[in-house]
């Protein structure tokens, strides 16, 4: 595989066998498109079955339906649900966990992992979900889960990721296309389960989620205008949360120098001669990337510029055999098969068990061996240049419309590092730029207790935009620093501040 495909991929990371319930009548065929006479909304999640999938639809989205069931696994203290978003012949798998605190009033969080092409089971079982898998014994209770006081979705998207599948080889190759499906599903869910209607809603993601989440949130926001015009309840979109995001590829690319050749994170990892050569390339790369990728996007020229600059600024890191997700740790070529974390293999083994797949309601057409990340999906996004797109303008537009944005970054991450993320937030063009840039980085601590708890990282915040670092955390902040991650999430959704 060429260096280009390796680096791009690493930038982040059928018919049901079970009977499906339609208004109480069991069928074995694939779910049809929505029909007013066929579907009756289920107002209460308690009406769902543990053994059978119920089908939900809505006349506003006649090509969409949702298959959902109760699922007893992972966290016995809350109600959990799994199922599929059905978009004609395309089917997106999701997990949903109610809050451990007060599911009837707590906020709702949507979570996606990145890749492009990586399953959100990584977020669920490795990072912020109600259970963790650390070995082949299966899941164990995770006390610092984000569903401590929030209801939360984990979604395998787009098609071809995790348990998601297509009937006839359909695929999604751009973030904008994926956003349409996600926005429609969110509306359908809220419409059927009315206790969540109007509830504060936050869209969160990690890594390539820095590309996904702003676009998904924009689609939800724009969809709201159409819903209001048709008399439906809009989604109460409050905020966006991006962890170690790949929002601006070009700032991330040039900041590779800072992470390898300065003490921005750990002591320099490259030799003096290599760093001197690398530094000379930065002005040239900034110019070429700006001209071909930012000022005017030209797929051919942008790809050429990116490939040239990645060769000079990123390849030295790959040759060093360090963990791209935690620069303080080593990771050899064999380790890269597990994304440098053996726990990913345990997650895949667990989700490959037939008994687990039956419990979750996984469609039998899904391949037997679960894969955390799909190279096929990643390469499809590359082919359509989705991985080269500038994305921060979505963030600026959301801020202008009152949607708060949190950018949090572990300081040990190299691949989507804090230096590049800080630079694009400072360069972001929006009405709050001056106020945001005037704010100096200041320490924050868990619970605000700097004396007792000590510094957890640095933060800058103004006018709805917050940039925050988490000391000694890697690419997956909730994995390395679960206490700090839960605290920052709780303070963010409560609007307590840092």
Q: Binning pLDDT at 50, 70 and 90, where does residue 88 land?
A: confident
Instruction: Give the model's pLDDT for residue 427.
Output: 95
For residue 22, what pLDDT is reported? 29
Q: Is residue 417 part of a domain?
A: yes
Q: How many CA atoms lie within 13 Å of 11's alpha carbon, on the beta-carbon side?
A: 29
Question: pLDDT band at residue 13, thresholds of 50, 70 and 90?
Answer: very low
| Per-residue pLDDT reduced to its tens digit, 446-487 | 988 888 888 999 999 999 999 999 999 999 999 999 999 999
Determine which of 32-46, 135-149, 160-174, 304-318 has the lowest per-residue pLDDT on average.
32-46
Q: Is 353 domain-assigned?
A: yes
CA distance 433 to 436: 5
Residue 493, pLDDT score: 97
How big is the chain, counted in residues? 498
pLDDT value of position 27: 30
Quick check: 163 and 363 in contact, CB under 8 A? yes
Number of domains in the chain: 1
CA–CA gap between residue 492 and residue 182 (Å, rounded):
23
325 cis-preceded (ω within 30 degrees of 0): no
Helix, strand, coil percentages in the chain from 3-state DSSP, rounded to 5: 40, 20, 40
Q: What is the pLDDT of residue 42?
A: 62
Give Cα 109 to chain centroid, integer Å: 11
Catalytic residue positions, numbered: 207, 413, 475
Whether the per-residue pLDDT at 8 is higher than 50: the answer is no
- Classify residue 160: in a domain, yes or no: yes
DSSP state of 73: -
Assess if residue 176 is contained within a domain.
yes
In this structure, is residue 166 part of a structural domain? yes
> Is residue 67 within 8 Å of residue 54, measured between CB atoms?
yes
Specify whether the CB–CB gap between 187 and 143 falls below 8 A: no
Three-class secondary structure of residue 84 per DSSP: strand
Parent domain of 178: 1-18+76-428+469-498
CATH of the domain at 111: 3.40.50.1820
**pLDDT of 144:** 97
Supply the pLDDT for residue 168: 87
By mean pLDDT, which of 21-25, 151-155, 298-302 is the weakest? 21-25
Mean pLDDT, the chain, as a whole number? 87
C-alpha–C-alpha distance, residues 416 and 476, integer Å: 10
* Residue 209 belongs to some domain of the structure: yes
Q: Is 285 part of a structural domain of the chain?
A: yes
> Considering the domain boundaries, does residue 434 fall inside one?
no
| pLDDT given for residue 40 in this prediction | 56
Tell me what percent of the residues of the chain surpass a pLDDT of 70.
90
Query: How confident is the model over 284-314, as pLDDT tens digits?
Result: 999 999 999 988 899 999 999 999 999 999 9
pTM of the model: 0.90
Q: Tens of pLDDT along 404-422?
A: 999 999 999 999 999 999 9
């Amino acid at each position: 595989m060429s260096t280009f495909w390796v680096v791009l991929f690493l930038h982040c990371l059928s018919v049901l066998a079970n009977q499906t319930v339609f208004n109480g009548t069991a069928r074995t065929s694939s779910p049809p498109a929505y029909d007013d006479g066929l579907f009756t909304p289920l107002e209460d999640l308690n009406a769902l079955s543990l053994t059978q999938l119920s089908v939900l639809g809505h006349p506003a989205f006649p090509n969409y339906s949702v298959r959902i069931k109760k699922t007893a696994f992972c966290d016995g203290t809350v109600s959990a649900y799994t199922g599929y978003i059905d978009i004609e012949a395309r089917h997106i798998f999701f997990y949903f966990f109610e809050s451990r605190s007060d599911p009837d009033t707590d906020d709702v969080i949507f979570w996606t992992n990145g890749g492009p092409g990586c399953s959100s089971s990584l977020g669920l079982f490795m990072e912020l979900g109600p259970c963790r898998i650390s070995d082949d014994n299966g899941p164990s209770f995770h006390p610092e889960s984000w569903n401590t006081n929030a209801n939360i979705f984990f979604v395998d998207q787009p098609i071809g990721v995790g348990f998601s599948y297509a009937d006839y080889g359909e695929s999604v190759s751009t973030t904008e296309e994926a956003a349409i499906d996600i926005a429609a599903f969110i509306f359908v869910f809220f419409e059927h389960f009315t206790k969540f209607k109007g509830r504060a809603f936050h869209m969160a993601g990690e890594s390539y989620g820095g590309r996904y989440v702003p676009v998904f949130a924009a689609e939800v926001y724009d969809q709201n205008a159409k819903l209001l015009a048709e008399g439906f309840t809009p989604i109460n979109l409050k905020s966006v949360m991006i962890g170690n995001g790949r929002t601006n590829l070009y700032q991330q690319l040039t900041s590779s120098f800072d992470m390898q050749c300065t003490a921005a994170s750990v002591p320099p990892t490259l030799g003096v001669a290599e760093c001197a050569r690398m530094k000379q390339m930065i002005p040239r790369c900034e110019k070429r990337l700006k001209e071909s990728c930012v000022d005017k996007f030209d797929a051919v020229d942008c790809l050429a510029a990116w490939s040239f600059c990645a060769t000079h600024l990123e390849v030295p890191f790959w040759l060093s055999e360090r963990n791209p997700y935690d620069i303080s740790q080593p990771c050899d070529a064999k380790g890269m098969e597990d994304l440098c974390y053996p726990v990913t293999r345990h997650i895949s083994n667990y989700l490959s068990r037939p008994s687990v797949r039956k419990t979750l309601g996984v469609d039998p057409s899904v391949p037997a061996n679960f894969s955390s990340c799909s190279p096929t999906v990643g390469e499809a996004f590359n082919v359509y240049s989705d991985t080269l797109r500038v994305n921060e303008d979505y963030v600026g537009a959301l801020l202008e419309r009152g949607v708060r944005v949190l950018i949090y970054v572990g300081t040990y991450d190299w691949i989507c590092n804090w230096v590049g993320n800080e630079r694009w937030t400072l360069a972001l063009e929006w009405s709050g730029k001056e106020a945001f840039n005037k704010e100096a980085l200041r320490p924050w601590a868990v619970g605000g207790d700097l004396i007792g708890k000590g510094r957890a990282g640095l933060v800058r915040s103004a006018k709805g935009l917050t940039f925050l670092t988490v000391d000694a955390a890697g690419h997956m902040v909730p994995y390395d620093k679960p206490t700090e991650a839960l605290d920052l999430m709780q303070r963010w959704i409560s609007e307590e501040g840092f």
